[in-house]
Amino acid sequence: MVEENLKTDQKQGGFQLMLNKKITEPWTSIGTILGQPVIDSYTFYLKKYKAKKGDIVAAEAKLPTGEGKVIDVIVWGRITEIISSNDFLPNEATKELTEENINIQDTILPLTKNDSICMVTNLGYTKNQVGEKMLLLPINYPVAPGGTIKYPAKKDLASLLNSEMNSKNPILIGKLVAREDIDVFVSADNMVSRHVLVIGMTGSGKSVATRRLMRELMHKDYPILIIDPHGDYLGIVKQAKKLFPKHVIKLFYPKISAPSNNKEVIFALIEKLGKKLTDPQYDFLNWLLDNIPYESGQNLMDYINVLIDRANTAAANKRNKSSAGMNGIGNTGATTMGVVARSLRVVQSKLKKMEKDNKENMEKFPHLKFEELPDSYSQPENIISKSQVSILYLKGYESLPSSTIVSILLENLFNHRSAGNKTIPPFFTIVEEAQNFIPSRAEGQDGYPSVETIKKISTEGRKFGVGLMIVTQRPYKLDETVCSQMNSYIILRLKNERDQRFVKNTMENWDDEVARQLPNFANGQGIVSGQITNLPLTVKIKFDADLVNSDLGDEDFINDVQNWKDTEITKKKKSFYKNFDKIFKSDQRRPN
Amino acid sequence: MKQIINNNSSLFSNFIKNSIKAPSPKVQQNFMKVTSELVEVIKKILEAEKLIFDVSYEGKKYWENAKKHKFAFVDGGAYSSFLSSSAPFAIRANTYIVKPDELLERRELFRETVKFVGNLYDPEKNLYDLDEDPYEDNQLLTKKKDAARITFETAAVARHVYENEKFEYLLLHGPLQTPIMPFSGPEFPLFKKEVIKYILPFFKKKEINDKDRHFINVYLNSINYIKKAKFNIFGIVEKTGSTIYLRNLLYRAKQKRLIDDVIFDKTISLIKRYKINDATLFELILSDCQALKPLEVEKQIPSKAWGDWEEQMNNFPKVFIGYLRTNKNQSPIRIESLNNPKKLHQDYEYILATSKLLPNYGFPAGLDVIDKAARIHSWLGKAAKGYYQKYYLNLALNSKDPTTIISALKSISDGGRKFKNRPKAGRLSINAK
């Protein structure tokens, strides 16, 4: 077929004719290939202002086939750098212009002799079929110097970018940064099954990206679970209710519970939140956990209450030299038991405080209805259901209890899916501030039960329809195994060098050139790469203004301060301080 | 004075040259002594004649006022590695025209004002280059190249005069008039007729005779045409080794009886022996932004002409030559014009302002620009050379004449003196059959 085309085209005067026959509109010639191209890259001389960094361009080329034939192809590449130079403007002239404050435009120095040389990284080649479905193949031969570079027409480029995806469900993510006339789609099928890592510093547009993809999944009635430590998703609830009236959007606050067969989770929580214990004290804590049954789904606070009572009783028995109910702890002293009871009270107090903080935070949104998170073991269908978005609001909870809550929740939901009992449909989980749930070894992941759970989902979730979207601003703090299982990436602006290094080490097909772009992205601009797309693309993510968090409002601290008025209590406190100050200044006596 | 001498760039290079030739501390000390004493007396003469003047420079202010004018800069470029019989093969003279306050798209024009690719000289007449002695051969070849370059640069200036351009200033890279004595030798080749018609469009003669095609006449015609220009034309020469100003200054002093004949002759002899030149001396005399008023000098010396060119030499106009120190580090640049500058201060102010744009090099920036634009790069020339060598050898082979073939082979492989072209023992080794 290709051979036939080649023959026909040669008759008609070459490659140019062949292209014109099939393309949707003429492609503009924008440059000529220079120097010594290699297989992966080349440079070309650019007509002034005819292309810009990030643009995808096409080179006419010939490639050898395995059968010893030569075929005409289109080699697609991305402009990674443009070097502009004016060989006629002497460097030393700029010194004089600066020193003497002379405007160059007033002088005889040349301004119009700028040359632009573009560096292009090749993406692959397509056979001579444009406008329809184009399969991008790896290049095995460099383009020839002197070849023409063309600026492909919108439709042909869109076709290249989106047609190879083989997705039944393409979803719109945004537009090409370099060409805003071209929409970019990602594969929803690959996204929900193969996991996505969303990385970007604060204000880079992570929420813009997640909201965009979330919205598209909602259109497909796909169940979504959002782990929201800061309440970033609360604001969209009201909007989404208007935009998706048939959807169920639930806001949950956590209930700290654990499965009965996994007391290690409770032990770890008590160990981390409580005081540091000695070996005999640990032994006694273990004894308590072994001897006091825990019912699955039981509120952990109630359970800790029971533990404290039992520890106090045991200590009292010890002091009274009673042996009732003291099997296995005969040698443990009353003081040891008292320390464990005190540690448990510390744990209890911390958990109560977190619960209280969480509640207070919820009260800031009186118009929103929060529900206690149902038991994910016995009532998973209340959390995951078709056309339902469940948001777990964790604000107020420290990272360890949050990790415990998320671990238990995801473990149960995953088990329901892997059991194959059709209790819940496939679902997609968005984990915000993921560094709190899957910290790396270096960050100290001991006692974070969510690490193992998310690791399991990242490796096995694909089989059972449990998809993950990991969202973080500090990628280098994430667990390496989980990251390596992420098949697709949305990388937004990153300035921290450690984060950039991490991204470079983790992702395939990543080069220094891409890394150099990261600090310069505007809000909402980023690289979409991996199995959700055909090629790594620099995309301006579509901003869903109607989903913006209107309830939370913008941060307007200056205005807040300008309108600030002390409460009556504060006013009184301040006046008291003045009195106390006077007293303390008058106090001449030495302390006893 | 010692301090000035120590900091002097061109004097230093002369000093080094002298040290190499006569490596004795005594000789070196003597050189320093003679130079510094000569500087003092020449400075006195210049001051007495009121030839030194200050040129004002306020970069920002100058360019704010000058931006409304149109300026031109001309330079030539030739590809120099040619077959001897076709030299020169590719030559051009380009102009950079700029009107700073014009809209960007019309602000600058890089023009290939005159260009030529092919046989410049008439092959039907004497080719003047297939000499048995390769040294001689190279000498002749160099002369032909120089004649071509000078002709094309002058022709480019003449073209602008012919087209009645409204330049405020046109600066040419190089002297505005060159001594033509070296080209007055017997049988210097003639330019082809088409070349004359192309480079001298103002030359209305219906029948161009052979004499009109000789370099000296072509050059004279061009120079005389340029002299009538309605805009200011200056030739700018950097790194000059000439003594023309010094000699004319002394001659003028002699005429005015400021010095006698004996002193004049002795000083001229001393200048020659000590290899002191204008650049060396005036770098010691002039400060930054100082200039020497132009002297009217005769560049052609008819008595030295070969053949019957003496009369033509007398027809060349006199040249006005001055010097301008454009920075603290470089020796002064030579400024040549065919007419006595009417607004000397203004003209030199412009040349200084353009030179200040290259604060280290101290040379008009526009000439630096056109120098780069006019240059024929070796990548371009080599391709042409390869093509032409093939063509030339093919012609020779078709002739089936062994001598022609050997001559062609020698010619395309760098002359007969190369080892690979050594004479073969016995008969000619190439069989024409």
Q: Are B293 and B344 in contact (CB under 8 A)?
A: yes
Q: Chain A, 77-96: which have a CB under 8 Å from a chain B CB?
A: 87-88, 90, 92-93, 95-96
Question: Does A384 lie in the same domain as A353?
Answer: no
Cα–Cα dist B158/A188, whole Å: 73
Which H or E run contains A348?
A: helix A334-363
Question: Does A397 lie in the same domain as A275?
Answer: no
CB distance from A35 to chain B under 8 Å? no
Q: Are B53 and B293 in contact (CB under 8 A)?
A: yes
Question: Does A485 lie in the same domain as A386?
Answer: yes
Question: Does A110 lie in the same domain as A9?
Answer: yes
Nearest CB partner across the interface for A93, out of B64, B96, B365 = B365
- Give the residue on A whose Cα is nearest the Cα of B98: A108
The answer to whether residue A333 is domain-embedded is: yes
The answer to whether residue A396 is domain-embedded is: yes
Q: Are A437 and A450 in contact (CB under 8 A)?
A: yes
Per-residue pLDDT, A427: 95
Measured torsion, CA atoms of residues A373, A378, A384, A389, in degrees rounded to the nearest 10:
-10
Using a CB-CB cut-off of 8 Å, the residues of chain B touching A92 are: 358-361
| A192-216: pLDDT as tens digits | 888 999 999 988 999 899 999 999 9
Per-residue pLDDT, B211: 84
- Give the residue on A whose Cα is nearest the Cα of B72: A108
The answer to whether residue A249 is domain-embedded is: no
Cα–Cα distances in angstroms (integers) from residue A532 to residues A165, A167, A526, B247, in the given order: 8, 9, 14, 84
Using a CB-CB cut-off of 8 Å, the residues of chain B touching A94 are: none
Question: Does A189 lie in the same domain as A159?
Answer: no
Cα–Cα dist A162/A56, whole Å: 14
Which has more confidence, B261 or A327? Answer: B261
Nearest-Cα distance to chain A for B58, in Å, is: 8
Rg (CA), chain A: 32
Residues belonging to chain B with any Cβ–Cβ distance to chain A shorter than 8 Å: 59-60, 63-64, 66-67, 71, 73, 96, 98, 100-101, 104-105, 107-108, 110, 354, 356-361, 365-366, 368-369, 372-373
Question: Does A380 lie in the same domain as A350?
Answer: no
The answer to whether residue A436 is domain-embedded is: yes
Per-residue pLDDT, A16: 40
Cα–Cα dist B170/B113, whole Å: 14
Give me the sign of the Cα torsion angle A580, A585, A587, A591: positive
Cα–Cα dist A161/B296, whole Å: 74
The answer to whether residue A122 is domain-embedded is: yes
Cα–Cα distances in angstroms (integers) from residue B311 to residues B150, B216, B338, B358, B391, in the given order: 21, 11, 19, 42, 41
SS (H, E, C) chain B: CHHHHHCCHHHHHHHHHHHHHCCCHHHHHHHHHHHHHHHHHHHHHHHHCCCEEECCCCHHHHHHHHCCCCEEEEEEEEECCCCHHHCCCEEEEEEEEECCCCCHHHHEEEEEEEEEECCCECCCCCCCCCCCCHHHHHHHHHHHHHHHHHHHHHHHHHHHHHCCCCCCEEEEECCCCCCCHHHCCCCCCCECHHHHHHHCCCCCCCCCCHHHHCHHHHHHHHHHHHHCCCCEEEEEECCCCCCHHHHHHHHHHHHCCCCCHHHHHHHHHHHHHCCCCHHHHHHHHCCCCEEEEEEEECCCCHHHCCCCCHHHHHHCCCEEEEEECCCCCCCCEEEEECCCCCCHHHHHHHHHHHHHCCCCCCCCHHHHHHHHHHCCCHHHHHHHHHHHHHHHHHHHHHHCCHHHHHHHHHHHCCCCCCHHHCCCCCCCCCCCC
Final residue before a domain boundary, out of A358, A386, A412: A358
Contact B365 A107 (CB under 8 A): yes
Contact B100 A113 (CB under 8 A): no
Using a CB-CB cut-off of 8 Å, the residues of chain A touching B368 are: 90
> Does a cis peptide bond (omega within 30 degrees of 0) precede residue A293?
no
Q: Are B140 and B132 in contact (CB under 8 A)?
A: no
Q: Are B365 and A90 in contact (CB under 8 A)?
A: yes
The answer to whether residue A434 is domain-embedded is: yes
Which H or E run contains A517?
A: helix A512-517
Cα–Cα dist A197/A499, whole Å: 13
Structural domain containing residue A535: 171-178+180-230+373-547
Cβ partners under 8 Å of residue B21, min gap 6: none
Cα–Cα dist A168/B196, whole Å: 75
CB distance from A555 to chain B under 8 Å? no
Mutate to test the interface with B, among A108, A112, A113, A115 (most CBs of B within 10 A): A108
Cα–Cα distances in angstroms (integers) from residue A288 to residues A125, A279, A293, A307, in the given order: 67, 14, 9, 7
Using a CB-CB cut-off of 8 Å, the residues of chain A touching B64 are: 103, 106
pLDDT tens-digit profile, chain B (433 residues): 556 665 666 665 666 666 556 556 777 788 888 888 999 999 999 999 999 999 999 999 999 999 999 999 999 988 766 555 545 567 899 999 999 999 988 999 999 999 887 778 876 665 544 544 444 556 677 788 888 889 999 999 999 999 999 999 999 999 999 998 888 877 788 888 888 888 888 877 777 788 888 899 999 999 999 999 999 999 999 988 899 999 999 999 999 988 999 999 999 999 898 889 999 899 999 999 999 999 999 988 877 777 778 888 888 999 999 999 999 988 999 999 999 999 999 999 999 999 999 999 999 999 999 999 998 877 666 766 777 778 778 888 888 888 778 777 776 665 555 555 555 555 444 444 3
Per-residue pLDDT, A3: 36
Cα–Cα dist B91/B117, whole Å: 6
Nearest CB partner across the interface for B100, out of A100, A107, A113 = A107
Cα–Cα dist A577/A574, whole Å: 5
Question: Does A155 lie in the same domain as A11?
Answer: yes
The conformation of residue A403, written as its DSSP 8-state character, comes to H
Question: Does A389 lie in the same domain as A305?
Answer: no
Contact B59 A102 (CB under 8 A): yes
Contact A111 B71 (CB under 8 A): no
Per-residue pLDDT, B88: 56
Using a CB-CB cut-off of 8 Å, the residues of chain A touching B66 are: 106
Q: Are B304 and B181 in contact (CB under 8 A)?
A: yes
Nearest-Cα distance to chain B for A34, in Å, is: 14
The answer to whether residue A198 is domain-embedded is: yes
The answer to whether residue A248 is domain-embedded is: no
Q: Which of A219-233, A324-338, A416-430, B15-29 has the lowest mean pLDDT?
A: B15-29
| A98-157: pLDDT as tens digits | 999 999 999 999 998 888 999 999 988 988 665 556 678 889 899 999 999 999 988 888
Q: Are B289 and B54 in contact (CB under 8 A)?
A: yes
Does the structure's ipTM exceed the value 0.90?
no
Per-residue pLDDT, A431: 95
Using a CB-CB cut-off of 8 Å, the residues of chain B touching A93 are: 357-359, 365
Using a CB-CB cut-off of 8 Å, the residues of chain A touching B111 are: none
Residue A220, SS3? coil
Q: Are A440 and A478 in contact (CB under 8 A)?
A: yes
Tabulate helix, strand, coil % of chain A (nearest 5): 40, 20, 40
Contact A90 B365 (CB under 8 A): yes
What is the rounded end-to-end Cα distance, in angstroms, of chain B? 75
Cα–Cα dist A96/A93, whole Å: 5
Using a CB-CB cut-off of 8 Å, the residues of chain A touching B101 are: 105-106
The pair of structure tokens assigned to B107 is 């602000």
Using a CB-CB cut-off of 8 Å, the residues of chain A touching B236 are: none
The total number of structural domains that make up chain A? 3
The pair of structure tokens assigned to A89 is 């403007």
CATH code of residue A495: 3.40.50.300
Per-residue pLDDT, B44: 93
Cα–Cα dist B299/B287, whole Å: 27
Question: Does A497 lie in the same domain as A452?
Answer: yes
Cα three-residue angle A483-A486-A488, rounded to 5 degrees: 130
- Give the residue on A whose Cα is nearest the Cα of B61: A102
Q: Identify the CATH number of the domain defined by range B54-241+287-376.
A: 3.30.2170
Question: Does A153 lie in the same domain as A7?
Answer: yes
Which has more confidence, A11 or A334? Answer: A334
Mutate to test the interface with A, among B357, B363, B371, B377 (most CBs of A within 10 A): B357
* A450: alpha, beta or left? (left if phi > 0; alpha if psi -120 to 50): alpha
Final residue before a domain boundary, out of A358, A390, A406: A358
| A442-468: pLDDT as tens digits | 887 777 889 999 999 999 998 999 999
CATH 3.30.2170 boundaries in chain B: 54-241+287-376
